[in-house]
Amino acid sequence: MAGNGFGVAFRFTTFGESHGIALGCVVDGVPPGLELVEADIQRWLDRRRPGQSKFVTQRQEPDSVEILSGTFEGRTTGTSIGLLIRNQDQRSKDYSEIKDVYRPGHADFTYDAKYGLRDYRGGGRASARETAMRVAAGAVARKVLGEGIRIRGALVEMGGDAVDRAAWDWDEVERNPFWCPDPQAAERWEGLLGAVRKAGSSVGAIVEVVAEGVPAGLGDPVYDKLDADLAKAMMSINAVKGVEIGDGFAASRLSGEANADEMRMAKGKPTFLANHAGGILGGLSTGAPIVVRFAIKPTSSILTPRRSIDRFGHEVEVRTKGRHDPCVGIRAVPVGEAMLAVVLADHLLRDRALGPKPRAGGPDW
Amino acid sequence: MAGNGFGVAFRFTTFGESHGIALGCVVDGVPPGLELVEADIQRWLDRRRPGQSKFVTQRQEPDSVEILSGTFEGRTTGTSIGLLIRNQDQRSKDYSEIKDVYRPGHADFTYDAKYGLRDYRGGGRASARETAMRVAAGAVARKVLGEGIRIRGALVEMGGDAVDRAAWDWDEVERNPFWCPDPQAAERWEGLLGAVRKAGSSVGAIVEVVAEGVPAGLGDPVYDKLDADLAKAMMSINAVKGVEIGDGFAASRLSGEANADEMRMAKGKPTFLANHAGGILGGLSTGAPIVVRFAIKPTSSILTPRRSIDRFGHEVEVRTKGRHDPCVGIRAVPVGEAMLAVVLADHLLRDRALGPKPRAGGPDW
Amino acid sequence: MAGNGFGVAFRFTTFGESHGIALGCVVDGVPPGLELVEADIQRWLDRRRPGQSKFVTQRQEPDSVEILSGTFEGRTTGTSIGLLIRNQDQRSKDYSEIKDVYRPGHADFTYDAKYGLRDYRGGGRASARETAMRVAAGAVARKVLGEGIRIRGALVEMGGDAVDRAAWDWDEVERNPFWCPDPQAAERWEGLLGAVRKAGSSVGAIVEVVAEGVPAGLGDPVYDKLDADLAKAMMSINAVKGVEIGDGFAASRLSGEANADEMRMAKGKPTFLANHAGGILGGLSTGAPIVVRFAIKPTSSILTPRRSIDRFGHEVEVRTKGRHDPCVGIRAVPVGEAMLAVVLADHLLRDRALGPKPRAGGPDW
Amino acid sequence: MAGNGFGVAFRFTTFGESHGIALGCVVDGVPPGLELVEADIQRWLDRRRPGQSKFVTQRQEPDSVEILSGTFEGRTTGTSIGLLIRNQDQRSKDYSEIKDVYRPGHADFTYDAKYGLRDYRGGGRASARETAMRVAAGAVARKVLGEGIRIRGALVEMGGDAVDRAAWDWDEVERNPFWCPDPQAAERWEGLLGAVRKAGSSVGAIVEVVAEGVPAGLGDPVYDKLDADLAKAMMSINAVKGVEIGDGFAASRLSGEANADEMRMAKGKPTFLANHAGGILGGLSTGAPIVVRFAIKPTSSILTPRRSIDRFGHEVEVRTKGRHDPCVGIRAVPVGEAMLAVVLADHLLRDRALGPKPRAGGPDW
């Protein structure tokens, strides 16, 4: 059943396989009059692009995006926006080795169980190449959110080695190939990942994405809670196995006194004295920064032979060669930012449907 | 915008406030011919019901469910099923104390920010009382899944004190008031929670829910991944701050070799030699048990005075009296089971839409 | 698959069978702060209520609606609104006669073909009794639309006898039992329907519903066109076989010159000199009155024996006794008004999601 | 808000403007293993293609479709199918004449009212050029339906001149430029339309589309009735102002006796002795042919000057030059067929979600 779209008011629907002709996307529900040209999207795609350091896949893809519709004279028209990226480096290599084999940790077995056939070239639709279109949609979402909402992400742990939060520097994130906010951790990771890559192994990672400037009251109070939609958004990214908001799992180890963020007025505005909640209470934004973390498993494509079976039920050994990321978590940073942006854009538009604020004669602090 | 429904093919939509007249639910998309009488639902509601031990709220609610439609002569007809629970113990107490005050950690502030007004009696729609209808819908979902799929849950950590997984005993879960699978942990928690309750404080918890017997191939491969929908389902439960599948965050600390579950044939069937993946790869079920954990923050209703503001912008101190759960995680166990059931039922029906298996001449191991 | 709900931003989901315990509805997406008490809904339900004249079914149902949630101190809170009507007059008669028989023109055969079983008492879910909840949801939708949008309906043809449009008088609609705007037609119909009723036969009808005061620009330009959603809404009413907007089928017999409504400025506002379009161009409202007509087939429950089969494949003769409307079109008038209201409320909220008008620096005539 | 997609289980989402770079579509929910190559789609696009006779627009567009994803080795994989048509003949003409003017009968005014700006080149997104992608999606839908379901359409009335149903010949439909099933009507229309074209005027038309071989029981019984979805589908086509099922409006002029189709067993199967219902009862298919008609208004682009206003509120006269269809109804025939196909494909998959038939121990005639 249809499952290649995301969002309700701001909705994008994607297509494309790793080694197919192209990746594409329809972004629907974008308000009219927003400035949007290809460079606005390309800028974010370039951050996710493969081949930018020795720590990511060496596949060469310029990922040049084309806007096919939905804008006129550089502004959105309110109609659906078609986006297209032609694949360039889908190597015509021989895939006969993995054609019938289920690589451990990959979706090969489950696709066959579901569909009975699959495009096995480079993982087909299951490849993280699909995330390029998430980033493109996220770029459009940022336009919807406007300048007042700032979305940033960082890698906060790699292979179990966490950053020092006291040393957090957002500017540092742009200076190393890991989106790492802590220069010392970045240095350690360079050694770590070099060794992992040489060994043909892989490591996992934890990504943190943050949105600042989000007004209070976005979200919906029961099933479409803002955090529920964020959890879905992040868990839908390839290789993600866990999501948390604010203190997340650590919150379950706090006392009620320590966890509940106190409030005071500051500059005439309601203000939280802490942000254990990660900017969300009761499924609605509080106005404090929205903080989301997600865990990425180690890349399943590794050189060490692993036991598996093939589609005929034979037992086999599998080694995965090819161009892979030793830590897919790195390139997940811009993807996580994009998914945060699309969820916020969707809820911003959904909230507007209720009419202008303050509502129902409510408080206008 | 509409956000009180969950699911696509199997969909339920709920209403009701903590201290309103009733809670209700429409369950839509249920196949015809399934045996369903009130006792089939009541059985699960009774597990979530308040007032069953001194460790949960003392509010007295029989939570008697009435099936208003959608069945005929004890079987589902394929039409929508209306369910109703009348509230009994909505004490006519004086709420003037919290009427204008934002209790820290609660949704009081965010509801006001969004709507400008709220039903403040007992938390209104934000109260965990809403979860009764999740459990009711989950009971119907279990009927859709049939006897072959078994869903169980347990509390695996309370206030930072985890169970010993080597001592796991599913039978023990039914023997203590905590749904704890480890008798020694249950004993420790009794002491811990007794002290917390007396102090008017609260603790958090971690719940684990497991589904066995799920066929391989349920889910959708991109945005409606099975794990993505599970993450949304669990995060939408009150007070949940984190969700993980299989090894979850711990997977990010494993090597690719350790994490990727190997396969062999066993009794003529594809079999996984481990289950780090928690039964899901590429968003599709593998046939191994589906394992989901979620973290619950400590109850925000505590006796210790906390700093806050009121809706007029005055700074205040807040103490929350009333009947509360010192650890809401306990009653979240049946709720988590229910949400696991509804997601699986939805994806079972969605998968059926593709036609009978094996598909496309695929492998029939 | 789930199909008992209607709408996107303003969405209602219903349940209930003709001779079941109750009818119910969840109205979701209603903005906060609107005044809403039971009388606001009852008022419209009373117009659809059975037993009000000898020309409609004699079933005695007060159709007393209960608001179970979603309001507080007489105003909507933004959360889901639960509505309930208990059935009173579900006669415990013997249904064994029609239990296994497919009444011609009814949904008996198709329900059995789809589900394999059905609640045959009074038509079960297929009964027009379901429309009570449409009217209830429509009452809430009118609150969303506000006083500025006026929705009215009338019966414009019965049994092939049309009203004289030159004699149209909206006040007359409230004065006769047919919602007929032409007093002379009302008189003719009284004779016609009296004869039909005595003969145990039935006739069809055409209903026209009109919305005035709808701002220009509601709707969506491609698949969710305002007229497309109206067509779905009206065709989903029991016994409806045709829908048209503005001149409808007659428009196909006009020349391009005659059909395209010309424009001029009037009192500083864009104004249409005619309304062949029925207030909708390109799927968007023009600001002119929205005019929708729908055709209702003659009631299928008639006394004359008809040839049919039973569920065992035997050929039988069927006569339908019981309390029926000789012209179901009469009671379809308030239902059509309600469906017009819910579609407009949905699109009003959807349009708001794009932000305040005028948009993108557009014309502010 | 997002409105460029159609369908639930089988869902397609489109983009593209008349004079933009390209038209595109994502078809989502297609079961795996269906044979699908570009020629399967091109075949139907060629029937809708402009420039094929002097009676349709002379714009030269090969409408060559490219499948960008979702198939592998000539078969569908179950993942989303990306389709693309590059525009070729988007004349770089001067649009300054209509840039600020609202052409009567067009969506110019309403787009400006909604969005505040529009792509005015050739009607932008409001152009019937968008329907190319409906035809492409319909071609995929036909694959889902399989050979057993036959969908055909014809023009049954042009400019008020109806075909003689006694002379109906499906083979004739392919022999004239009007998709007319009656050779004598086709001859008359040739004269009629020639005159209309020379006069720079336009006429309307009525299209009938028929599906044979549809199994009984497709559809949903309340809001997503099969006929409700068909009404929406047809009304969403450009210039459509009315839709009817079976006898449609004429059914409202029949007696209950004449209208209710009687049943008998024939060759061991339930059989209807007439088909006034057009193959749908209670929102579910009966197994008889599904018959849908829709009315198309005369093309609004005409040479005769008409009164209108411009976006600055000035009163103007408008004549529409350019390449237009004097009767857009002709090219609506393949579009109507396509929309019938997509609705049926959606409901076929939705019905499958309930499990294999016969259900609930139901009749297996």
Q: Which of A189, A160, A164, A194 is CA-nearest to residue A176? A: A189
* In the predicted structure, residue C92 carries a pLDDT above the cut 70: no
Does residue D110 belong to the interface with chain B, where contact is any CB pair within 8 Å?
no
Confidence band for B91, pLDDT divided at 50, 70 and 90: low
Identify the sign of the CA torsion C295, C300, C302, C304.
positive
Out of D206, D222, D259, closest to residue C105 by CB: D259
Residues near A271 by beta carbon (within 8 Å), at least 6 away in sequence: A263, A264, A265
How far is it, in rounded angstroms, from Cα C30 to Cα C144? Answer: 7
Q: Is A2 near chain C, with CB under 8 Å?
A: no
Kindly list the partner chains of chain A, i.e. chains with 3 or more CB atom pairs below 8 Å: B, C, D
User: Are the beta carbons of C331 and C152 closer than 8 angstroms?
Assistant: no
pLDDT at B168: 98
Cis ω on the peptide bond leading into residue D358 (within 30° of 0)?
yes
| Cβ-defined contact of D79 to B221 (cutoff 8 Å) | yes
- CA atoms B195, B198, B204, B209: torsion sign: positive
What tokens were used for B269?
A: 């069937």
* Per-residue pLDDT tens over the stretch A113-155: 999 999 999 889 999 999 999 999 999 999 999 999 999 999 9
Q: Which residues, in sequence order, are bridge partners of residue A35?
A: A75
Checking ipTM against 0.95, whether it exceeds it is yes
Rounded CA gap, D365 and D362, in Å?
9
With 0-12 CB in 10 A as exposed, 13-18 as middle and 19+ as buried, what is C94? Answer: exposed
CB contact under 8 A, B353 and D352: yes
Percent of chain B scored above 70 by pLDDT? 98
Chains meeting B at 3+ CB pairs closer than 8 A? A, C, D
Residues in chain C: 365
Mean pLDDT of chain B: 94
> Looking at beta carbons, which residues of chain D come within 8 Å of B354?
31-32, 78, 349, 352
HEC assignment per residue over A215-281:
CCCCECCCCCCHHHHHHHHHHCCCCEEEEEECCHHHHHHCEHHHHCCCEEEECCEEEECCCCCCCEE
Triad D219, A27, B354: Cα angle to 5°: 35
Residue at token pair 């049954």: D156
Q: Across the interface, do D243 and C220 touch by the CB < 8 Å criterion?
A: no
Q: So what's the pLDDT on residue D114?
A: 97
Average pLDDT over residues B173-194: 97
- Find out whether D29 and D352 touch, Cβ atoms under 8 Å: no
User: Is D96 an interface residue toward A (CB < 8 Å)?
Assistant: no
Nearest residue to C162 (alpha-carbon basis) of C204, C212, C196: C204
Interface test with B, best of D349, D357, D364 (most B CBs within 10 A): D349
pLDDT in tens, D199-237: 999 999 999 999 999 999 999 999 999 999 999 999 999
Average pLDDT along chain A: 94
Cα-based angle D77, D83, D87 (whole degrees, multiple of 5) = 165
Indicate the length of chain A as a whole number: 365
Tell me: pLDDT of B52 over 80: no
Mean pLDDT of chain D: 94
pLDDT band at D97 (very low <50, low <70, confident <90, very high): confident
Cis peptide before A358 (omega within 30 of 0): yes
* D32 min Cα distance to partner chain C (Å): 20
- Judged by a CB distance cut-off of 8 A, whether residue B355 touches chain A is no
pTM of the model: 0.97
Region B192-197: what's the mean pLDDT?
94
Q: DSSP of C187-240, one letter per residue?
A: HHHHHHHHHHHHTT--B-EEEEEEEESPPTT-B-SSTT-HHHHHHHHHHTSTTE
Calpha distance A308→A361 (Å, rounded): 63
How far, in Å, CA of B114 to CA of B135, rounded?
Answer: 27
From D225, D215, D349, B10, select the one nearest C107 (Cα to Cα). D225
Are the CB atoms for A126 and A106 separated by under 8 Å?
yes
- The residue of chain B nearest to residue A300, with distances taken between CA atoms, is B256
**Minimal C-alpha gap between D74 and chain B (Å):** 12
Give A-chain residues touching C146 at CB under 8 angstroms: none
Contacts of B35 in chain C (CB under 8 A): none
For residue A149, which of A157, A159, A141 has the smallest C-alpha distance?
A141
Under a CB-based contact definition with an 8 Å cutoff, are residues D238 and D126 in contact?
Answer: yes
Q: Specify the pairing of strand C150-158 against strand C205-212.
A: antiparallel
Distance between CA atoms of residues D134 and D11, nearest Å: 11
C residues 125-154 near B, CB within 8 Å? 125
In total, the C-beta contacts within 8 angstroms joining chain B to chain D are 57
Nearest chain A residue (CA) to D85: A68
- Whether D195 has its CB under 8 Å from any CB of chain C: the answer is no
User: H or E segment at D235?
Assistant: helix D226-235
The whole-angstrom separation of Cα D200 and Cα D303 is 5
CB contact A121 to C (< 8 Å): no
Whether the per-residue pLDDT at C91 is higher than 70: the answer is: no
In this predicted model, what pLDDT tens digit does every residue of B255-265 receive, in sequence order? Answer: 999 999 999 99
> Crossing angle of helices D226-235/D329-352, nearest 10°?
150
B269 to chain A: closest CA residue: A313
End-to-end CA distance of chain B: 46
Asked, as a colleague might, if the bond just before A363 is cis with ω within 30 of 0, I would say no
Token pair for B57: 């709220």
For D101-146, write each residue's pLDDT tens digit.
Answer: 999 999 999 999 999 999 999 889 999 999 999 999 999 999 999 9
pLDDT of residue D316: 96
Is B9 part of the contact surface with chain D (CB cutoff 8 Å)?
Answer: yes
Give the 3-state secondary structure of residue A16. coil
Encoded amino acid at D26, one letter = V
Q: Which two tokens stand for residue D283?
A: 């929102």
CB D137, CB D338: distance < 8 Å: yes
Interface partners of D (3+ CB pairs, < 8 Å)?
A, B, C
Which backbone phi and psi does D353 adopt, to 5 degrees? -60, -25
B70 contact residues in C (CB cutoff 8 A): 15
On whether any CB of chain C is under 8 Å from the CB of B1, the answer is yes
User: What pLDDT is stored for residue D91 in this prediction?
Assistant: 64
Residue D206 pLDDT: 98
Residue of A4, A241, A296 with shortest CB distance to B245: A241
Q: How far apart are CA D135 and CA C157, in angstroms?
A: 37
* Peptide bond before residue C358 is cis, with ω within 30 degrees of 0: yes
Q: Could you tell me if D221 lies within 8 Å of chain B, comparing CB atoms? A: yes
- Predicted pLDDT of residue C344: 98
pLDDT at D201: 94
Q: Report how far residue A30's alpha carbon sits from residue A28's, in angstroms, rounded to the nearest whole number.
A: 6
CB A242 within 8 A of CB A189: no
Closest alpha carbon within chain B to D354: B31
Interface of C with D in 16-75 (CB under 8 A): none
Rg (chain C; Cα; Å): 21
Tens of pLDDT along A38-92? 999 999 999 888 777 878 777 778 899 999 999 999 999 999 999 999 998 776 5
pLDDT of residue A51: 73
Q: How confident is the model at residue C50 (pLDDT cuts 50, 70, 90)?
A: confident
Q: How much is the average pLDDT of D327-352? A: 97
Q: Where are the beta strands (DSSP E) in C40-191?
A: 65-67, 71-72, 75-76, 81-86, 150-158, 161-162
Count of beta carbons in the 10 Å neighbourhood of residue D266? 10
**Cα separation, D131 vs D175, whole angstroms:** 23
Query: For residue A193, what is the nearest residue in chain B, using CA coordinates?
Result: B255
B24 contact residues in C (CB cutoff 8 A): 24, 26, 68-69, 82, 84
Task: Please tell me the distance in Å from D187's CA to the nearest CA on chain C.
Answer: 18
Q: Does A79 touch chain C (CB under 8 A)?
A: yes
Question: CB of A122 within 8 Å of any CB in chain D?
Answer: no
Q: What is the DSSP string of D84-120?
A: EEE---------TTTTTB--TTSSHHHHHHHHS----
Please check whether residue B200 is in contact with residue B222, taking contact to mean a CB–CB distance below 8 angstroms: no
**Closest by Cβ to C31, choosing from A78, A222, A354:** A354
Angle of the B226-235 helix axis to the B329-352 helix axis, nearest 10: 150
**Nearest CB neighbour to C360, from listed A33, A349, A353:** A33
Token pair of C68 as six digits: 């179970």
Among residues C146, C125, C131, the alpha carbon closest in space to that of C44 is found at C131
pLDDT at residue C179 greater than cutoff 90: yes
Q: How far apart are CA B291 and CA B244, in angstroms?
A: 8
